A = this chain, B = another copy of it.
């Protein structure tokens, strides 16, 4: 099995989580307080790095830190029901889908407006006109 404990900098390099964020996660109780050397340096064992990679991956998947707290609890709970994990993931998916729809609507509206905007040196621009006209349902 691999190496012993490493310092925070190596942990950061090895997990893709910045040292700053590792301390933050510890401070907010997302991860357990790290072991310390006699002089106060934090030490990370392989299992700690594993947890950090878990957090990193979940952040990459767009989970909030609070969601990750729940996921980690389920992860550490050997008797967890997969239904809970699945529900959490699917709830997050629908959240993602909602955000995607919102962004899609914005993008479509702007593309429509831009399509009718000459893009030349004339000052007529339906984009500004639309903005000035106030909110309405997009096409």
Contact = CB atoms under 8 A, between A and B. Distances in A.
Nearest to A125: B82
A118 B82 contact: yes
B82 A123 contact: yes
A54 interface: yes
Interface stretch (A19-27, A31-39, A105-113): A105-113
B120 A74 contact: no
A13 to B, nearest CB: 14
A128 interface: yes
B132 A75 contact: yes
B89 A107 contact: no
A127 B57 contact: no
A61 interface: yes
Interface residues of A, number: 57
Given A79-B123, A125-B82, A127-B85, A54 B132 contact: yes
22 contacts: A16-B135, A53-B134, A53-B135, A57-B134, A57-B135, A60-B135, A61-B110, A61-B131, A74-B128, A75-B128, A81-B120, A82-B119, A82-B121, A82-B123, A82-B124, A83-B119, A83-B121, A86-B119, A87-B119, A89-B114, A96-B104, A100-B103
Interface of A: 16, 50, 53-54, 56-58, 60-62, 71, 74-75, 78-83, 85-87, 89-90, 92-93, 96-97, 99-100, 102-104, 106-107, 109-111, 113-114, 117-125, 127-128, 130-135
